[in-house]
Amino acid sequence: MFHSARALAILLALGTCFACSAYAAEATPAPVEFQWGVKIPLRDGVKLNATLYKPRDHKQALPCAFTLTPYIAQTYHERGMYFAAHGYVFLTVDVRGRGNSEGQFTPLLQEAKDAHDVVEWLAAQPYCDGKVTMWGGSYAGYDQWAAAKEFPPHLATIVPVASPKPGVDYPMQHNMFYSYDTQWLTLVSGRAAQESIFGDMDFWGAQFRRWYEAHAPFKELDRYIGNPSPIFQTWVSHPMQDAYWDSFSPTPEQYAKLALPILSICGQYDGDQPGALAYYGGHMKYGSAEAKAKHYLIIGPWDHPGTRTPKADVGGLKFGKASLLDMNALHKAWYDWTLKDGAKPEFLKDKVAFYLTGEEAWRYAPTLEAVTARNEAWHLASVGARANDVFAAGDLRRDKADGGKPDRYVYDSLDTSSAAWEQEDSQNGLTDQRGVMMASGKALFYHSPAFAADTDIAGFPKLSASIALDQPDTDLAVYLFEVKPDGSSVFLSSDALRARYRHGPREAQLVKPGAVERYDFEHFTFVARRLGKGSRLRLTIGPVNSMYAEKNYNTGGTVADESGKDARKVTVTLYHDTAHPSTLSLPIAAASSVASDK
């Protein structure tokens, strides 16, 4: 409700561009030879197609790296040239059923065993010294976690970048699917890359709008866009986290056995941040002390493609030079350290590196939890139930609210007014306030007083809200912004919750209409930013109502099956009195564990 069409992936993390393969071309400092059409046999007899890059005239076996991609191996030609020119054998490999590889493509689920077989085949080649690693982000970041859980003996290290975690951030997040699923499935339909179709945002905007305004069931979206997909139908038949989604990722027992060095990389403005940090969190929770000591984490001020090739401009914000890490060089330094007994990469000054926007500097901490010094409570309040006016608004107060009437908004699930501007191409998704302004009267807004001094925040906000509904279900979204003294704003973080999953993503329990219950929004995205003196916080709470998201018609039925004929209005009432408090928890940044680099 509060986002432009092009900002959806950022504001609600609804949208994951697996297809990004941008990179900065780099002059090749040494001759490289490559061979197209290398066939890699798998255990079931299927052969994958690969392009092999080697340093010319190398005299001894070398460590090998490979990327396993559904986007056609030649997409990563320049990466192969770079690493072969810097002392590594590199292979770009088409996944099963894509490009020139044999077999049938089943997204995500097939890669664990296939990657295991590629590792072990590579280790046996005469040009390999027995040490194998992987390279890549997004889908190729997921591949690395999938491979690691199979424990191929010769997998020596991984560097998973922007790794989606199935069921956590793709193809659904917060147990809500997104329209982008059909766009991505079209990209990887057939064997060749459907890049031109995938990138035609006017086409996709028009198709999603047509479906949205027709109030058709979400499960029919693949037919609406012209590409019926059994995979899409399988996905929507699993609407909450369950054994199906668990099967894609490491189990607690597998995390406990992982012993290889790991460098995890993700972006503050990347829709796959939740997945990448879920993998990291799983290893930190279940891994041995020895293994956790070998796991490093970098969170930069990047969007999805920026995790591979950082850029200084993201969504209307500009970042300092320190943000522009040379990712090829960083990967090489990590590989040199873990595969060739080289020096530890100079950038890794502590286990966690994060970029504080506004300060425009890197900070460090020994753990992700240590990024936050303390959590500051801000209590929701209002006068005269005025909180659904963005200009009058309610308040965020440090002292506890001692009363006040509850605030409420009414959500009409047949409202499609956002479609007209959602189709517009906005390059300023982090600073665009049109969605907020158009939601006035249809959502709740709370502002803090102006900060008396610069205030650094880092970590994960949380919101505990006392809410009552008059329907058995609805979807709720919460957003946090910095509002600057000049009235401009910067998106900070967001979360969402389908009411039936208020007790957890594995348990569906419909709401008892009229009952006041606690809703805990505990999955905000990571944020690290210096809030300037004179700035205020803006917290918004409203419906998930977008042509880019699965539509919940508030009935309590199977959401993917529902259509406009089932639609109900819902009144969402938020309480903030002594008996029913509602509180925002703001993470205040800790000082860096080492001197920052600017």
Question: Tens digits of per-residue pLDDT, 130-181?
Answer: 999 999 999 999 999 999 999 999 999 999 999 999 999 999 999 999 999 9
On the question of pLDDT at 248 being above 80, the answer is yes
On the question of pLDDT at 10 being above 50, the answer is no
Average pLDDT (260-284) is: 98
| Mean pLDDT score of the chain | 93
pLDDT digits (tens, 9 = 90+) for 322-352: 999 999 999 999 999 999 999 999 999 999 9
On the question of pLDDT at 17 being above 60, the answer is no
Residues of the chain with pLDDT > 70, as a percent, come to 94
On the question of pLDDT at 477 being above 60, the answer is yes
Radius of gyration of the chain (CA): 24
Which helix (H) or strand (E) segment is 230 a member of? helix 230-236
Average pLDDT (276-294) is: 98
Average pLDDT (29-54) is: 93
Average pLDDT (354-381) is: 98
Task: Return all residues near 106 (Cβ < 8 A) that are at least 6 apart.
Answer: 96, 97, 231
Structure confidence at residue 595 (pLDDT): 61
Structure confidence at residue 21 (pLDDT): 41
pLDDT digits (tens, 9 = 90+) for 78-90: 999 999 999 999 9
How many other C-beta atoms lie within 10 A of the C-beta of residue 341? 7
Average pLDDT (466-486) is: 98
Confidence category of residue 388, pLDDT binned at 50, 70, 90: very high
pLDDT digits (tens, 9 = 90+) for 528-553: 999 999 999 999 999 999 999 999 99
Respond yes or no on whether the N-terminal peptide bond of residue 230 is cis (omega within 30° of 0).
Answer: no
- Bridge partners for 549 per DSSP: 178
Nearest 5°: the CA angle 11, 12, 15 is 100
Q: Per mean pLDDT, which range of 9-23, 61-75, 287-301, 579-593 is the poorest?
A: 9-23
Q: What is the DSSP string of 301-324?
A: S--TGGGTS--SEETTEE--GGG-
On the question of pLDDT at 8 being above 80, the answer is no
Structure confidence at residue 39 (pLDDT): 98
On the question of pLDDT at 9 being above 70, the answer is no
Structure confidence at residue 336 (pLDDT): 98
Respond yes or no on whether the N-terminal peptide bond of residue 153 is cis (omega within 30° of 0).
Answer: no
- The closest alpha carbon to 50, from 152, 105, 122, belongs to 122
Structure confidence at residue 31 (pLDDT): 87
- Bridge partners for 566 per DSSP: none
Structural domains of the chain sorted by starting position, each given as residue range(s) with its CATH number in brackets: 5-11+373-589 (2.60.120.260), 32-165+249-303+320-356 (3.40.50.1820)
Give first-to-last CA distance, the chain, whole Å: 37
Structure confidence at residue 18 (pLDDT): 41
Q: How far is CA 588 from CA 64, 363, 372, 457, 491, in A?
A: 42, 14, 6, 4, 17
Q: Per mean pLDDT, which range of 113-117, 420-424, 464-468, 579-583 is the poorest?
A: 420-424
Give the separation between CA 304 and CA 523, rounded to whole angstroms.
Answer: 19
Give the separation between CA 236 and CA 497, rounded to whole angstroms.
Answer: 17
Task: State which amino acid sits at residue 453.
Answer: A
Confidence category of residue 58, pLDDT binned at 50, 70, 90: confident
Residue identified by tokens 């005239």 is: 57
